[in-house]
Structure 1
């Protein structure tokens, strides 16, 4: 599963995680790893690129997107609400929580993310 934090780091050369993101995406591409993101991550990433870098790059990113998009289902949203309510000491966003729910549904346990919420929830993150 690919998170907004990793995608944005790859795109924004001034991001602190840019080099690590570049290396990870290259490594995963060479290993022919299937990268997946949710439709919520697509929306969140597009909005972030749009607001921070501009509409041209946001449009190009959407136009050239080749990764598989896994749609968030109603059951995932129900599970996301359960996650947000249960983890009172965490600041998981709704997108984070829906991503966790989709990962549970797909029996995934590894994410490409620089967002500490993934490890707080117990997921393993790729390392360069």
Structure 2
């Protein structure tokens, strides 16, 4: 499975995004199963709405919640607590709390690849960042 982060979802659906061509081509060519988290979905849909991309937010949300885009990993209370510890431990990094939840899930599920434009994923060390 390949973990997908906010920036990749956003870029794949917003033609004005500088990474749109890369993201849309990658999604169209990918044959591996995808996974994302409820926190990434929240961040993505909120970003779309804040950028006045309401119709795209609704379309993407429909794709998420119909199960056609990716498996959704819902964080447990324990994972949220672990993410909080990561957030506190790595205070020298500019990782968002959502980044920290992603790190916890990636490590827990032993994922080796992530589709992300966020340079913070390259700091996780345990993951190969695509594309």
Q: TM-score, normalised by structure 2?
A: 0.88
Query: Number of paired residues?
Result: 124
Give, in angstroms, the shift of residue 75 of structure 1.
1.8
CA distance in structure 2 between the aligned counterparts of 1:89 and 1:125, rounded to whole angstroms: 21
| Structure-1 residue corresponding to 2:123 | 120
Q: Secondary structure at the match of 1:13?
A: coil
Distance in 1, Cα, partners of 2:101 & 2:90: 14
- Judge which range, 112-121 or 66-75, deviates more: 66-75
What whole-Å deviation, never above 9, does each CA across 1:53-72 have from its counterpart, x for those lacking one? Answer: 33222112111232111111
Measured on the aligned residues, the alpha-carbon RMSD in Å equals 1.2
Task: Supply the distance in 2 between the matched residues of 1:84 and 1:109 (Cα, whole angstroms).
Answer: 21
- Unaligned runs of 5+ residues in structure 2 are none
Residue 24 of structure 2 corresponds to residue 22 of structure 1: yes
In 1, distance between residues paired with 2:42 and 2:91? 26
- What TM-score, normalized by structure 1, do the two folds share? 0.90
Give secondary structure in 2 for the equivalent of 1:69: strand
Map 1:83-98; keep pairs closer than 5 Å: 83-98=86-101
Q: Distance in 2 between matches of 1:15 and 1:63?
A: 21
Q: For 1:46-101, what per-residue CA distance to the aligned partner results, in whole angstroms no more than 9, with x for missing partners?
A: 11111113322211211123211111111211221121112122011111100110
The residue number in structure 2 matching 1:45 is 44
Partner-residue secondary structure (3-state), 1:118: helix
Determine which of 66, 78, 81 is the counterpart of 1:75: 78
What stretches of structure 1 move > 3 A for 4+ residues in a row? none
